């Protein structure tokens, strides 16, 4: 099966637009960005040159192949028939020697994870109980997909921007230490029927999910201390929190609250309960590989994948064999729901299995020691699907205003090579180490993503397996 040619995505009509414009301090988007095919190609070549100077020859080879792939697709003439489909030789080469460099490039850096230092709760009612016990106010960050990310559901563009520009900022973090901080999925909270929704509505929260995205400040008994639609940019967030603290000081005097110190934040797994119950619980990160500047790491996003113990066994060779193939059901799940471009927001994946043009993955035992079995994973997956209303004869026109883009009918997909390593403990019947990365070329507009072909990576890992020890933090004021 490994020798079967991959049928790549079809050529699509270029638009000449690429990239995202920043949101300025007023909260208004900058004018739309237009980037020519030549500019896109030059920026990629600059990054390749940077890797060469730095001596990263393994990644240099991979990215060089992605440069050629992306620029050849972008230069396609929609008025002419497409050239013969490339074979597997056109996909990036990942192996035991270079795949980990790609994982390191895709997964978040410590600076990108500073927003987690606040110590976010994942359940509103648990945080309400803590706030009551400590006589402290509540800071609620509510967004589509939950800022922490959900199983099969990544956060929206609002979280992607806010975690970097707002909640990773030292000034904001210092202010947040006055609150019991928690998160919620906006639609579930605003429109649902649960104790959390009831408490939220009683405290003045809206019942419409579309208007409930943002930052809420409450007293421990549900007093409304402030609200801002969307949790960004930084300046109005800081002003809102400071105003809420002033209201809180008055409330302390009025109600006779005696605030207690908030325990030190201990960043950890986003969903420890799900992790404990799952046979395999993976942290999945997608990242736009750098394009605009040689040293720039672009947008990234995350979600989670959970599998039962039986499903997790799909990654192991069956029947005691040293080598085998990963089960089709698992490959299809990865292809349809996770090997998609969710770097800039929610992406529901592909509509059907018909989007999977070619997919295979092998699993091979490479070492064993006691109950620990090490396996190598390798494969190739190519997907392509046309959105509803797509007309191949009509070149789409795409406009991007700030980080809000207008979705237009078109073709989207991802052609990738996958490689990784995992360690399975047969005694515990679970994976104790897991890393798998897909690298290749994505294309097509889906929820604020670039229409132009561009390199992208997706990494699967156990949450926290690379984390350093958390640094000590000051107590709350």
pLDDT band at 345 (very low <50, low <70, confident <90, very high): confident
Look at residue 445 in the predicted model and tell me its pLDDT. Answer: 65
Domain ranges of the chain: 37-97+278-462, 120-255
- CATH number, domain 120-255: 3.40.30.10
Q: What is the spatial distance between Cα 432 and Cα 418, in angstroms, rounded to a whole number?
A: 20
pLDDT for residue 388: 77
Number of Cβ within a 10 Å radius of residue 88: 17
CA atoms of 248 and 336, how far apart (whole Å): 47
Nearest Cα residue to 383 out of 352, 405, 362 = 352
Residues 183-214: tens digit of each pLDDT:
999 999 999 999 999 999 999 999 988 888 99
Ranges 247-251, 286-290, 314-318, 416-420: which has the least confidence: 286-290
CA atoms within 13 Å, Cβ hemisphere of 215: 26
| Kind and range of the H or E run holding 131 | helix 124-134
Q: What CA–CA distance (Å, rounded) separates 422 from 250?
A: 55
Which one is predicted more confidently, 476 or 175? 175
Would you give the distance in Å from CA 372 to the centre of its chain? 30
Cβ 342 vs Cβ 355: under 8 Å: no
Q: Assess whether pLDDT exceeds 50 at residue 433.
A: yes
Could you tell me whether strands 454-462 and 430-443 are parallel, antiparallel, or unpaired per DSSP bridges?
antiparallel
Residue 444 confidence (pLDDT): 78
Cis ω for the linkage preceding 233 (within 30 of 0): yes
- Are the C-beta atoms of 95 and 419 separated by less than 8 Å? yes
Reference 216, options 192, 246, 184, 188; nearest CA is 184
Number of H helices, E strands in the chain: 12, 14
pLDDT score recorded for residue 86:
40
What per-residue confidence (pLDDT) applies to 347? 80
Give the chain's length: 477
Mean pLDDT in the chain? 79
Q: Span 292-309, mean pLDDT?
A: 79
Q: Which pLDDT band holds residue 348 (cuts at 50, 70, 90)? A: confident
Query: For residues 244 and 189, is the Cβ–Cβ distance under 8 A?
Result: no
- The pLDDT, as a whole number, for residue 265 is 73
* pLDDT tens string 100-147: 999 999 999 999 999 999 999 999 999 999 999 999 999 999 998 899
* C-beta of residue 332 within 8 angstroms of C-beta of residue 360: no
CB-based contact 235:25 (threshold 8 Å): yes
pLDDT band at residue 65 under the 50/70/90 scheme: low
- Model pLDDT, residue 448: 55
Mean pLDDT along residues 253-270: 89
pTM of the model: 0.80
Burial-class residue 242 by CB neighbours within 10 Å (0-12, 13-18, 19+): exposed
| pLDDT 10s digits, 263-297 | 987 778 889 888 988 999 999 999 998 765 554 45
* pLDDT at residue 284, rounded to an integer: 97
pLDDT exceeds cutoff 90 at 230: no
Q: Say yes or no to pLDDT of 182 above 50.
A: yes
Asked if 463 and 432 touch (Cβ cutoff 8 Å), the reply is no
HSE (CB half, 13 Å, CA atoms) of 224?
Answer: 10
CB atoms within 10 A of CB 111: 10
Within 13 Å and on the Cβ side, how many CA atoms surround 11?
20
Q: Is the pLDDT of residue 322 over 80?
A: yes
Summarised one tens digit per residue, pLDDT across range 438-447 is: 999 988 765 5
pLDDT over 80 at 44, yes or no:
no
pLDDT at 474: 38
**Confidence label for 59 from pLDDT (cuts 50, 70 and 90):** low
pLDDT at 473: 41
Query: Is 400's pLDDT higher than 80?
Result: no
309/63 Cα distance (integer angstroms)? 36
């Amino acid at each position: 099966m490994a020798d079967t040619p991959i049928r790549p995505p079809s050529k699509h009509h270029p638009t000449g637009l690429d990239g995202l414009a920043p949101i300025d301090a007023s909260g208004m988007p900058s004018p739309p960005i237009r980037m020519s095919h030549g500019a896109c190609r030059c920026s990629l070549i600059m990054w390749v040159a940077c890797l060469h100077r730095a001596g990263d020859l393994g990644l240099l080879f991979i990215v060089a192949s992605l440069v050629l792939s992306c620029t050849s697709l972008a230069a396609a003439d929609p008025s002419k028939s497409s050239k013969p489909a490339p074979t597997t030789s056109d996909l990036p080469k990942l192996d035991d020697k270079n795949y980990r460099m790609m994982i390191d490039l895709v997964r978040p850096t410590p600076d990108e994870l500073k927003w987690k230092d606040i110590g976010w709760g994942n359940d509103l009612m648990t945080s309400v109980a803590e706030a009551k016990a400590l006589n402290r106010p509540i800071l609620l960050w509510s967004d589509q997909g939950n800022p922490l990310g959900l199983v099969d559901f990544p956060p929206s563009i609002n979280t992607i921007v806010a975690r970097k520009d707002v909640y990773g900022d030292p000034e904001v973090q210092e202010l947040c230490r006055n609150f019991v901080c928690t998160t919620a999925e906006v639609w579930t909270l605003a429109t649902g029927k649960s104790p959390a929704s009831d408490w939220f509505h009683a405290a003045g929260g809206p019942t419409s999910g579309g208007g409930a995205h943002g930052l809420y400040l409450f007293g421990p008994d549900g007093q409304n201390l402030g609200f801002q639609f969307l949790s960004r940019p930084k300046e109005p967030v800081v002003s809102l929190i400071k105003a809420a603290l002033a209201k809180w000081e008055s409330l302390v005097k009025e109600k006779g609250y005696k605030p207690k110190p908030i325990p030190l934040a201990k960043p950890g797994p986003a969903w420890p309960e799900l992790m404990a119950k799952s046979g395999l619980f993976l942290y999945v990160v997608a990242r736009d590989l750098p394009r605009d500047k040689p040293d720039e790491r672009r947008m990234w996003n995350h979600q989670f994948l959970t599998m039962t113990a039986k499903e997790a066994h799909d990654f192991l060779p069956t029947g005691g064999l040293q080598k085998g193939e990963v089960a089709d059901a698992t490959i299809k799940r990865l292809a349809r729901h996770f090997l998609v471009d969710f770097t800039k927001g929610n992406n529901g994946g592909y509509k059907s299995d018909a989007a999977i043009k070619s997919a295979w993955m092998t699993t091979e035992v490479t070492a064993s020691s006691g109950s620990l079995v090490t396996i190598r994973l390798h494969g190739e997956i190519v997907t392509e699907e046309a959105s509803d209303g797509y007309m191949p004869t009509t070149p789409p026109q795409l406009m991007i205003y700030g980080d809000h883009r207008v979705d237009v009918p078109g073709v989207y997909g991802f052609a990738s090579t996958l490689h990784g390593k995992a360690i399975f403990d047969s005694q515990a019947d679970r994976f104790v180490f897991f890393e798998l990365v897909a690298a290749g070329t994505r294309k097509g507009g889906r929820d604020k993503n670039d229409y132009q072909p561009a390199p992208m990576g997706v990494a699967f890992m156990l949450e926290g397996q690379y984390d350093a020890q958390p640094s000590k933090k000051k107590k709350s004021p």
